[in-house]
Structure 1
Amino acid sequence: MTTYSAVVTTGIYCRPGCGAKPLARNTRTYEHPAAAEAAGFRACLRCRPYRVAAPVAAGAPELVCRAWQLIIDGVLDDGTEAALAARMGLSPRHLRRLFVQHMGATPDQLARSRRAHFARRLLDDTDLTVLDVAFASGFGSLRQFNRTMREVFRASPTDLRDRRRRADRLVADGGLVLRLPFVPGYDWAAVREFLGVRAVPGVEEVDGDTYRRTITVEGAPGVLEVSPGGDGHLLLRAHLPYWEGLIHVVGHAGRMLGVDTDHTAGVAALSADPVLGPLVRARPGLAVPVAWNALEAGVRAVLGRGRTPREAADRLGALTHRLGTKVPGLPGGLTHTFPDAAAIARAEVTEEEAALVGALAADVARGHGALDHGTGLDAPATLPYADHDLRHDLAFRLGSREAFPLGDASLRAALAGLGLDPAACHERWRPWRSLAAAHLMAHGDRL
């Protein structure tokens, strides 16, 4: 886990590796930048902590992880901690206590810090106007934006733009290019290969070392391209109809790619396993990619049952070409956006699949209910036909740390090849069963 060092004599906090050498007795450590900022410290101008990934603490409970995913989705942009707590089935006081205990800051403080850090990266990396940066970062007004940036960085947005270094600005022939920070050790090649096997034709593609996919923003199509960047980051090129709410698009992309998830403790634990260990040690930087949204997670889980990843992807591709929106002029092999919930509910599939897909689509269309990123294993249990394997498949695709989708063909192929009993082996990999499953699935893809 990355820790941030704050110096009480200067009021500045730094990320690991900063060249500053303060006396140990004058330093305090924090696990998240928001925690240091809540304690009154500002970001170092030399190491710029806002440019590195700041994941949730590896030991944080599932409730905190799920609430954090909802914050990434913007639940606190125009909502309150009380509403978030009610959605989580907790009291506001208990939710705040959990966040302070495991993150060092309250949900509101974390959301504010996240918006400010994203805005600072936009001021460095792009030529967007200050007004565009404010709304792209999730702020409700220019006044709120200016006030927050002064509180967090002790300078106005205009002053911060003037301070950017010459090498910061990312020049692009098309689209908006941003740095997408990842946790140390992240293996883009392994994640890209995992995504490529499961890419839905027309919606996703892997071309060399670049991953592309179509998305929908408020009903309008867009395209994201991810490719290798420099030390500690990928490059994300976004082609979007407008920039308002860009922070949530980038947050979705980072979550899908697993760039902001710290698996250090899980890798250490699983590497000691006599059977799984060699797979983990061979690719310690493999993250757990998740679905772009809850609808895609549910549809892929239902229509992919009993099929290999490639067969499932081809079936989803056929569905997309029939029900999705065709978008001309897209790069590479991209042709459509994934169908929306209303179209999916009309899909011509088996009776059992239709019942479950319809329930999933209706749940997503309501904007609340059983499916959220970070959902636990019990949440989808109220859906029809949601048996044990399907619940684990849904939870895995939605970012649960404890899911183990035994129904996945690649995972079962890997278990068979390693001579492991599917019904019993996974219990020994708690609490890192999703990470174990990702390594097994990647291994099974190559068998």
Structure 2
Amino acid sequence: MPDFRELSRASARKARDMPCTMVDDFLMDMDRTACYRAISTRDIRFDGRLFVGVKTTGIYCRPICPARTPKFENVSFYASAAAAQEAGFRPCLRCRPEVSPDLAFWRGSSNTVSRALALIESGGLDGDDVEGLANWLGVGGRQLRRLFRQHVGASPIAVAQTRRVLLAKQLIHETPLPMAEVALASGFNSVRRFNETFLELFGRPPAALRRSRDKTRREAGALSVRLPYRPPYDWDAMLSFLSARAIPGVEIVAGDSYRRTIAIGGKCGVISVVPAPKNRIDVRVRFPEMAALPQIIARVRRVFDLAADPDTIGAHLALDPSLAPLVAARPGLRVPGAWDGFELAVRAIFGQQITVPAATKLLGKLVQAFGDPLPPAMTDSEGLSHLFPFAARIASSNLATLGMPGARAMAVTSLAQAISADPAIFSRGASLEDAIVKLRALPGIGEWTAQYIAMRELREPDAFPAADIGLLRAMTDGEGRRPSPAELLTRSERWRPWRAYAALHLWAAGVPHPALSGKIDEREAA
């Protein structure tokens, strides 16, 4: 093991004082000396960015693992858990890599890799192969594998397999689910494959990893799982945003919790989300098919923007003097996601030229008229009663009965027909530009709405509605001059690739804004 007193000053400073914006680029170089210093000092900044494989034990750990630091010559470093696992290491049972922040979405400079990771998390490789995933992203399979090696350090297949293993390990540790249900809930196609994988990794059956035998009885189809995030997190801002838009009968925000009805694969249920200790959120799921759990977790992570790295994003945006005080005031601000693209698009169209409360009330009428009621076993006394209407139901319904303008009702009906014909419209594709073009081709979707859907549903961190009135007002200079949309778009170039977060900071700065508290620009009208 090297003596840190003999390290060069440059290497020591590199490990100790490296700005957050440079951490990911630095880790791609895998400077062994600086990485070793990070694990020796249990530097929390590297949690989720760096994993260490210990050659003498065959285990990989987080940099904050409380175990004794291994010798320098006995370790190797990896930029992702998937890379460490693909190299033959198994997850540590002590520091539990499955509960480390997942920052893979924000690692590297490849938008293709970011979109591929999002699709993999949503099950993009469960029923398809790497070639199919690559085709969806508009690249070749060989190129996609090369990009993954460069930016993640592992193949797409290894990433998908690691996600399944780590989710299964978390469910074994944190829930009383029987092993057969853990296998299905974590995305394994068979219990046999699940058992074989754990025997291969840990040398023991999965049941042997359960530290305690939980004898408590659980409600049928219900369990809780905790999902990590990287602090800080502005939970109040997130709940405030979701509360203002909570659809009656479908969503409820009360106290520090968010609850809503969900539907996946013809089944329905309810989820609730509350903050938990140690930078995690607690997600309680009541759903009859545990095989849907990976999809549910992926959507929860999307809604609450759990994959964001606020230090990296904030450090970059703070380079602009106009954004620096806003970032300092709200360091944990996230971009709220959407549970469903069709639901979000309908909300956006309903909100054209009316206030957010008025649009929410109108959506409540839509739900009562056309939404399927929850089964009696799922209903509760706190207001969750219906699912949001399916596109197929809206496509064949007369929305004029809701008392809304005919043109807008026709736009929603036409949108529902388009979604029914192509349910993949709201899936991430090859680029943000392609997504905007595809969205703008839909009935009732203009530039603002397309950018808004890209921000919240497609999780495009660089989406930016430059013509937004609230953003233009927020950027008014000291002489009272408001920039034009073209000027704001030019100014926003320095905020790439985090322009969506810049927009949230500007909207949260207290300036009245149509998306947050008022009316949507009438140019979005159908």
Same fold (TM over 0.5): yes
Partner of 2:461: 401
**1:79-120 alpha-carbon deviations (Å, 9 max, x no partner):** 211111111121111111111211111111111111111111
Partner of 1:50: 98
**1:234-279 alpha-carbon deviations (Å, 9 max, x no partner):** 1111111221221111111111111122233211111232222222
How far the C-alpha of 1:297 sits from its partner, in A, is: 2.8
Q: Report whether the alignment pairs 1:431 with 2:497.
A: yes
Q: Report whether the alignment pairs 1:285 with 2:285.
A: no
Q: 1:31 aligns with which of 62, 73, 79?
A: 79
Q: 1:64–1:114: structure 2 CA closer, same or farther, 3 Å change rule?
A: same
Taking the aligned partners of 2:212 and 2:334, their CA distance within structure 1 comes to 31
Partner of 1:370: 425
* Aligned 8 A contact 2:232 2:310 in 1: no
Partner of 2:390: 340
Partner of 1:123: 172
* Aligned 8 A contact 1:149 1:156 in 2: yes
**1:372-427 alpha-carbon deviations (Å, 9 max, x no partner):** 14762422424245433232122112210111135667656655699653623333
Partner of 1:198: 245
Partner of 2:483: 421
* Aligned 8 A contact 2:472 2:483 in 1: no
Q: Report whether the alignment pairs 1:109 with 2:165.
A: no
Partner of 2:23: none
How far the C-alpha of 1:53 sits from its partner, in A, is: 2.7
* Aligned 8 A contact 2:231 2:279 in 1: yes
Q: Which residue identity does 1:32 align to in structure 2? A: S
Q: 1:169–1:373: structure 2 CA closer, same or farther, 3 Å change rule?
A: farther
Partner of 2:14: none
**1:8-407 equivalences in 2 (<5 Å):** 8-19=55-66, 20-56=68-104, 57-161=106-210, 164=211, 175-327=222-374, 329-345=379-395, 346=397, 347-348=399-400, 353=408, 356-358=411-413, 360-366=415-421, 369-373=424-428, 376-382=432-438, 383-384=441-442, 386-397=445-456, 398-406=458-466
Taking the aligned partners of 2:467 and 2:348, their CA distance within structure 1 comes to 9
Taking the aligned partners of 1:84 and 1:77, their CA distance within structure 2 comes to 11
Aligned residues: 444
How far the C-alpha of 1:29 sits from its partner, in A, is: 2.2
How far the C-alpha of 1:283 sits from its partner, in A, is: 1.8
Taking the aligned partners of 2:357 and 2:494, their CA distance within structure 1 comes to 29
Q: Which moved more, 1:204-213 or 1:96-105?
A: 96-105
Q: 1:171–1:47: structure 2 CA closer, same or farther, 3 Å change rule?
A: farther
Q: Which residue identity does 1:24 align to in structure 2? A: F
Q: 1:47–1:319: structure 2 CA closer, same or farther, 3 Å change rule?
A: same
Q: 1:88–1:15: structure 2 CA closer, same or farther, 3 Å change rule?
A: same
Q: 1:361–1:170: structure 2 CA closer, same or farther, 3 Å change rule?
A: farther
TM-score between the two structures when normalised by the length of structure 1: 0.90
Q: Secondary structure at the residue paired with 1:245?
A: helix
Q: 1:264–1:344: structure 2 CA closer, same or farther, 3 Å change rule?
A: farther
How far the C-alpha of 1:129 sits from its partner, in A, is: 0.9
Taking the aligned partners of 2:373 and 2:53, their CA distance within structure 1 comes to 51
How far the C-alpha of 1:307 sits from its partner, in A, is: 4.2
How far the C-alpha of 1:43 sits from its partner, in A, is: 1.3
* Aligned 8 A contact 2:269 2:287 in 1: yes
Partner of 2:508: 442
Q: 1:40–1:170: structure 2 CA closer, same or farther, 3 Å change rule?
A: farther
TM-score between the two structures when normalised by the length of structure 2: 0.77
Q: 1:409–1:154: structure 2 CA closer, same or farther, 3 Å change rule?
A: farther
Partner of 2:34: none
Taking the aligned partners of 1:82 and 1:356, their CA distance within structure 2 comes to 36
Q: Secondary structure at the residue paired with 2:426?
A: coil
**1:201-228 alpha-carbon deviations (Å, 9 max, x no partner):** 2211210001111111222321110011
How far the C-alpha of 1:432 sits from its partner, in A, is: 0.8
Q: 1:169–1:101: structure 2 CA closer, same or farther, 3 Å change rule?
A: farther
- Max radius of gyration: which structure? 2
Taking the aligned partners of 2:199 and 2:414, their CA distance within structure 1 comes to 46
* Aligned 8 A contact 1:411 1:441 in 2: yes
Q: Secondary structure at the residue paired with 1:316?
A: helix
Aligned residues: CA RMSD: 2.8
Q: Secondary structure at the residue paired with 2:307?
A: coil
Q: Secondary structure at the residue paired with 1:332?
A: coil
Identity, in percent, stands at 40
Taking the aligned partners of 1:290 and 1:304, their CA distance within structure 2 comes to 17
Q: Which moved more, 1:8-17 or 1:106-115?
A: 8-17
Taking the aligned partners of 1:407 and 1:359, their CA distance within structure 2 comes to 25
**Structure 2: segments with no counterpart, 5+ residues:** 1-47, 519-526
Q: Which residue identity does 1:247 align to in structure 2? A: P
Taking the aligned partners of 1:392 and 1:169, their CA distance within structure 2 comes to 49
Q: 1:352–1:110: structure 2 CA closer, same or farther, 3 Å change rule?
A: farther
